Structures are given as structure tokens and as C-alpha cells.
Structure 1
Amino acid sequence: MSAVDGLRSPHTPLRRSLDRELSAGAEALRESYRAQHCADHILLPPPGVATEAGTVGTAIDQRLRLAFTAAAPVDDASLIGIDLTGRIGSHGAGLRMSAAGNELALRLTETVRRLDLDNRQLPVDRAQEEEEDLARLLIAAAWYQVRARTPIGFVYTPLA
């Protein structure tokens, strides 16, 4: 049974629990959650960590996605970012970044195909050197994703 089917049927434990918890509205649920999970302090990134933490998270997300399916080794956001960098500046810098992005996409595709990342007969992780190389490629691809999502954030990437 899928989660959606579980929500449709009033007799499933999931639906009964949600009906019970949400019958008084979301505010009661939110207060209950906060009371049970109050923290003494908020965890913030250490000094010197800024937007790169999000970039690393994006690269990790991509690596996990590639473990499940390598059908599209380079995601659409990276490809859009590569295309958009070609429109930056008037001195050809954008065209060079776009050309580098296209080389990155080609190398990332070749690496993903060579490592056969979604092959269930192989271990999920590969050799340390291969994983490090793949991580570098995915972080660079994440910089292009930043360009696709927010031009302001792109300014703070090493690529810019």
C-alpha cells in the first residue's frame, strides 16, 4: 500500500494518527512537536562556512540520485546553469565558463557511465580516488546549478 492510499483510507493507522493529531488544527501539533523537541541551542554552520555548505549538500544529493539511477548523469539545473553562464559578460568570460561547463558535463557523463553507479551488483560506493573525483565533478556541477537558481548566489561561487 502506498502512502497516498494510506491517506485515502480512514481505517489505516497513518490516517487515524493524522486525524487524531490534526483534528485540533496544525497549531496544536506544532506546539506538541516543539515541546518534545526543544533544543538548548541552534546549530549553525561554523565560522567561514557560508553558501558552500549548500553547494556540498547539492552535490551529495546528486551523488545519492546517481546511486539510484544514472539515466541522466547531469541534471537539468546544471545544464541550464551551463547555458546561462554563456550569457555573462562581454569579454568572453561567460563563453569560456559555458565551454568549461560543457566539458564538465561530458566528463561527468563519462565518469558516471564508467563507474556504473546504479548497478545493483556492485557496492554502492567505489574506490576512494574514484569517489573523490566524482565528488569534485558534482560540486562543480552544483556551482552551475546555483547559476540556474539564483544569479546573486552564483557571484559567491568559486566558478564566478
Structure 2
Amino acid sequence: MSLTTGLQSPRTPLRRFLDRELSAGPRPLRESFRAQHQTDNLLLPGPGVGTEAGNVGTAIDQRLRLAFTAAAAAPVDLATEAGIDLTGGIGRGAGLRMRAVGNEFAARLAETVHRLDLDNRALSMDRAHDDEEDLARMLLAGAWYQVMARTSYGFTSTQLYLTALEDPAGLTLDRL
């Protein structure tokens, strides 16, 4: 039985569970879950553990998205575009510089994705190492901008923010 069939039929256990738990909205379900899974202490990451693992994961997700949908999808996703726009509001020099470099980055990423023709199945999977490394670095930079769109608190730990704050004039697309 498929998931959609299970949802359509009112007699399946899944449908009965969802009808019972979600009939009053998501709040009672959330409170019930939290009551069942209470904890006395919250485990926070240790010192030196940052958000880089998540950023690398985001970059990998973007690379896979481009591999499967580069022709149909925009090379720069909405979260990255929002992050680029939002960086302009951080201070005067550093924020404006991050936005300017972000706009250059978006144009270069779009050009690179179209040049490499990532979702063309007729091309060999083996690409030049330099092209793939350049693309990977750009996607990681895009992940940093995405962090800004999601949480400005986390953005202050990214290399993009730290570099721009240290030397706004020195932040260039090549340095990014």
C-alpha cells in the first residue's frame, strides 16, 4: 500500500492516527510529544564545534540539486538570494561589501552552472577537478549566505562574516 493510498482510506491505521492526533491542530500533538520526551538538561555542542558541518551538508545538497535540475532550477536558490540581500543591512562597510560580493558570486555561480551543463546526462561524469573544486567552493559560500537568511546569530560564526568584519575592503569574490 502506498502512502497516498494509506492517507486516502479512512480505515488505515495511519489515517486513523492522523485524524485523532491532528483533529485539534498541531499544538496538542506537539505538547503530547514534548511531555513524553522530557529531558532534564539540554546537550549543547562543545567548544569549537561550529556550524561548518551543516554548511558543508547544505553545499552538498545544492550540488545534488544542480546535478538533477540545473536546467530547470535557478542556479542560485531563494535562501541564498535572501541572504545576499540581508547582508547589506549589517553595518555600513562590511554589510555592503558582503552584498556586493554576493551579487558577483550569484552571477559567477549562474555562469559556471550553465557552462558546466551539470544535468546533461550525455556528458561524461568526469569533470575537470578544478571545475568541481571551484563549484564546491562557490556552493559553500552560498551556504554561508543561506545561514544569514535563516539565522543572523549563526551567520556571525561563518568565515564570510568574520572575513568581512576583519577587512571589508579586502573581501573580494576571489577571496570568498
- Is the 8 Å Cα contact of residues 147 and 154 (structure 1) preserved in structure 2? yes
In the alignment, what sits opposite 2:158? 157
Asked if structure 2 preserves the Cα contact closer than 8 Å seen for 1:125 and 1:131, the reply is no
Kindly report the root-mean-square deviation, in angstroms, between the aligned alpha carbons of the 2 structures: 3.2
In the alignment, the residues of structure 2 paired with residue 2 and residue 111 of structure 1 have an alpha-carbon distance, to the nearest angstrom, of 40
Aligned-residue offset at 1:148:
0.4
Note the C-alpha offset of 1:10. Answer: 8.2
Supply the distance in 2 between the matched residues of 1:97 and 1:120 (Cα, whole angstroms): 35
Contact 2:50–2:157 (Cα < 8 Å) also in 1: no
Q: Relative to structure 1, is the Cα distance of residues 121 and 6 closer, same or farther in structure 2, using a 3 angstrom cutoff?
A: farther
Paired position in structure 2 for 1:145: 146
Alpha-carbon shift at residue 108 of structure 1 (Å): 0.4
Paired residue for 1:111? 112
For structure 1, the 5+ residue unaligned runs are 26-44
Q: How many residues align?
A: 139
The 2-side partners of 1:69 and 1:105 are apart by 17
Q: 1:49 to 1:125 in 2, by over 3 A?
A: farther
Q: What is the deviation of 1:85? A: 0.4
Once residues 125 and 156 of structure 1 are traced to their aligned partners in structure 2, the CA distance between those partners, rounded to angstroms, is 34
How far apart are 1:8 and its partner, in Å?
3.0
Q: 1:72 aligns with which of 65, 71, 74?
A: 74
Q: Supply the distance in 2 between the matched residues of 1:154 and 1:147 (Cα, whole angstroms).
A: 5
What is the TM-score of this pair, normalised by structure 1?
0.72
User: 1:100 — aligned with what?
Assistant: 101
Task: Supply the distance in 1 between the matched residues of 2:48 and 2:101 (Cα, whole angstroms).
Answer: 27
Helix, strand or coil: the match of 1:122? coil
Give the structure 2 partner of residue 88 of structure 1. 90
TM-score, with length taken from structure 2: 0.66
Superposed counterparts of 1:11-30, under 5 Å: none
Shift of 1:49: 4.4
Per the TM alignment, residue 4 of structure 1 is displaced from its structure 2 partner at its CA by: 1.9
Query: Over residues 43-85 of structure 1, what are the superposed CA-to-partner deviations in whole Å (9 max), with x where a residue is unaligned?
Result: xx99844211100000000000001111200000000000000
1:117–1:124 contact (8 Å) kept in structure 2:
no
CA distance in 1, matches of 2:53, 2:116: 26
Structure 1, 115-124 or 57-66: larger mean CA deviation: 115-124
Identity of aligned residues (%): 70
| Cα distance between partner residues in 2 of 1:61 and 1:3 | 25
Show the 5 A alignment for 1:44-83. 48-70=48-70, 71-83=73-85
